[in-house]
Structure 1
Amino acid sequence: MTDDKKLVNRVIQGDRQAFKTLIQQNERLVAHMVYRIVDIAEDREEICQDVFIKVYQKLPGFNFQSKLSTWIATIAYRHSLNHLKKKKKILTSDLDEDLVFQETSDLIDQKTPEYLFSQQDTKNLVHRLIEKLPVQYKTVLTLFHLEEMNYSEIVEVTGMPEGTVKNYLFRARKLLKEKLKHYLVKEEPQ
């Protein structure tokens, strides 16, 4: 029996320490999912807690047809999207670059070239640019690069076809690259 199966069995049997361990092993994943989808900071922590309540409630029905982490990511993803729907936010599939990045220009223009080229600032810039992407783009980038999930796992989490996942990943990378290049060229001394 694998470690995940043992852990799940212990949680189902009422072992509180086992559930605490399950949370600790997956809290980063859940936070990444929720924080990439939900923009309102006050809602994020509550949603993360709700996800683990749902995990606890649904755990007896989990049958290990996928990895435990993939199953938990799916719950986090769907719960976050449901939250957005309740808030009546519009999810966009098509990208309008001007709308996505208009606020980012203001952030960049305020900084000196020395500050822009520092490693931490570049990392912050990339994170800010990612935050401006549509939900689907943020999600696939997070799952692929931060959570190191493969395409089939991302398909399982999001319910998107594999071609769509690959397409969103390609578009998101391309947009980030173009915007980074645009701002770096903009900041070069003339």
Structure 2
Amino acid sequence: MDQNEHHRSADRIIVEKVLSGNTRAFGMIMKQTEGLVAQIVFKMISNREERRDIAQDIYLKVFQKLDSFRFQAKLSTWIARIAYNTCINHLEKHQSRTFKDLENMQADDETGNAQEHVDQNDMEEKLISAEFNTMLQVELDKLPEIYKLLITLYHYEELSYSEIGQIVNLPEGTVKNYLFRARKMLRERLEIIYNKGL
């Protein structure tokens, strides 16, 4: 049994338990995915008071829609997608332009030549070193919501391009290009700070 089959089997068991009325099993689903959901909500929603309500709304939707889950993706990916869509809906209601602006950029990304260069390696080593962590977090929080989210899902949650694409409803190529842009933006900001300190 490969890893994906193992995930599907474990997901199927726990979903069937919930659907047969086992509320404790839903508590286990929440416990297993709360870190991922929290990362999405925290990166996309800046208002602290709204975060708790949104998280509760996400799990209410998960509970209500669980019988429609078809095991085509991992359960955690499906829940992350619900979390992302819930945050998007919230931001759209509050007239956030960030995502609409990024949708307009998508056509450019599809034809763009976002090739990473060898000279990035030096800076990327600094990005992951301990002394940069605090600075990195501060600068990460200044990025557009979608960039913050993609970096978090890829580098911190260690999800694949495919899983991230399923969550944010973007093609893998666009996810890669957005990540390239996000890392480039971070790198440039950190280089400015680093050079000022010299």
Fold equivalence (TM over 0.5): yes
Structure 2: gaps spanning 5 or more residues: 1-7, 106-128
Q: TM-score, normalised by structure 2?
A: 0.78
Q: Percent identity?
A: 44
Normalised by the length of structure 1, the TM-score is 0.82
Structure 1, residues 114-145: CA drift from partner, whole Å, max 9, x if none?
Answer: xxxx946x322211211111122112111111
Structure 1 outlier segments of 4+, above 3 Å: none
Which residue pairs with 1:108 in the alignment?
none
Q: CA shift at 1:158, angstroms?
A: 0.7
CA distance in 1, matches of 2:73, 2:10: 14
1:1-190 matched pairs, under 5 angstroms: 2-91=9-98, 92-93=101-102, 119=130, 122-188=132-198
Shift of 1:45: 1.1
- 1:64 aligned counterpart, secondary structure: coil
Give 1:23 shift: 0.3
Tell me the number of residue pairs that the alignment of Structure 1 and Structure 2 aligns.
164
Q: Secondary structure at the match of 2:21?
A: coil
Listed one character per residue, the Cα deviations across residues 65-95 of structure 1 (whole Å, up to 9, x for unaligned) are: 011111001000000010001111211326x
Quick one: distance in 2 between partners of 1:88 and 1:11? Answer: 36
Mapped to 2, the partners of 1:142 and 1:161 lie a distance apart of: 18
Q: Distance in 2 between matches of 1:187 and 1:119?
A: 17
Letter in 2 for 1:184: Y
Partners of 1:164 and 1:170 lie apart in 2 by 10
**Structure 1 spans left out of the alignment, 5+ residues:** 95-117
Give SS of 1:7's match: helix
The Cα RMSD (Å) is 1.6
SS of alignment partner, residue 56 of structure 1: helix
Once residues 171 and 9 of structure 2 are traced to their aligned partners in structure 1, the CA distance between those partners, rounded to angstroms, is: 29
Counterpart residue identity of residue 22, structure 1 = I
Letter in 1 for 2:46: D
For 1:2, what is the secondary structure of its paired residue?
A: helix
Structure 2 match to 1:105: none
Tell me the amino acid that sits aligned with residue 14 of structure 1: G
Q: Please give the alpha-carbon distance, in whole angstroms, between the structure 1 residues aligned to 2:179 and 2:15.
A: 32
Instruction: Supply the distance in 2 between the matched residues of 1:119 and 1:158 (Cα, whole angstroms).
Output: 29
Distance between the aligned counterparts of 1:20 and 1:27, measured in 2?
A: 10
